[in-house]
Amino acid sequence: MSTELQTQLLDSKGLKKTPIRRELVSLFLQNSNALSFHDIQDGMSSKLDKSTLYRNLTSFEEAGLIHKINDHSGIAKFALGQQDLSDDHAHFVCDNCETVSCMEGSVSIDVKVDDKVHVKQIQTIVHGICGNCNS
């Protein structure tokens, strides 16, 4: 049932199901955009301690439930790691409203790489103006 989606996600990653974690997962499920720490703190029903939130975000990230995005602002944002998006998916940053969202599709690079260099992951940030701001 739909109210149990958070439970399924936490279970699937072997994470303990506390009330805070359930609400935190719900918050991510409700938002397609990446969330800053303050978006998260403001989005929870009660004001929670920041170390609790940061520790949960770290646990979620280590478990692969969410991923961290570092854009040019220097402030980390977090978004659900979705199965239908590749590991190397791109992120879109609106230079006007500063919204960050994940992009479907693939990124390919055509760069000179030395033989000894081992490429493991590609992270791409696409800057521009989002549909909302461009109206």
Partner DNA sequence: ATTTTAAACGCGACTGAGTTGCATCTGTAA
Partner DNA sequence: TTACAGATGCAACTCAGTCGCGTTTAAAAT
| List of residues contacting DNA (CB under 7 A) | 15-21, 36-38, 48-52, 54-56, 58-59, 74-76
Query: Among positive and negative, which fits the CA dihedral 55, 58, 64, 65?
Result: positive
Give the residue among 129, 121, 132 at the shortest CA–CA distance from 92: 129
From the list a second copy, DNA, none, pick the one residue 19 interacts with, judged by a Cβ distance below 5 to 8 Å according to partner type: DNA
Contact between 127 and a second copy (CB under 8 A)?
Answer: yes
Contact between 112 and a second copy (CB under 8 A)?
Answer: yes
Q: Which is nearer to DNA, 48 or 85 (CB)?
A: 48
Task: Give how far Cα 78 sits from Cα of 9, 33, 117, 119, Å.
Answer: 16, 9, 29, 24
Contact between 84 and a second copy (CB under 8 A)?
Answer: no
Contact between 34 and a second copy (CB under 8 A)?
Answer: no
Task: Give how far Cα 99 sits from Cα of 6, 22, 30, 83, 114, Å.
Answer: 24, 24, 15, 22, 36
Q: H-helix or E-strand containing 82?
A: none
From the list a second copy, DNA, none, pick the one residue 16 interacts with, judged by a Cβ distance below 5 to 8 Å according to partner type: DNA
Residues forming the site for a second copy (CB under 8 A) = 68, 70-74, 76, 90, 92, 95, 103-131, 134-135
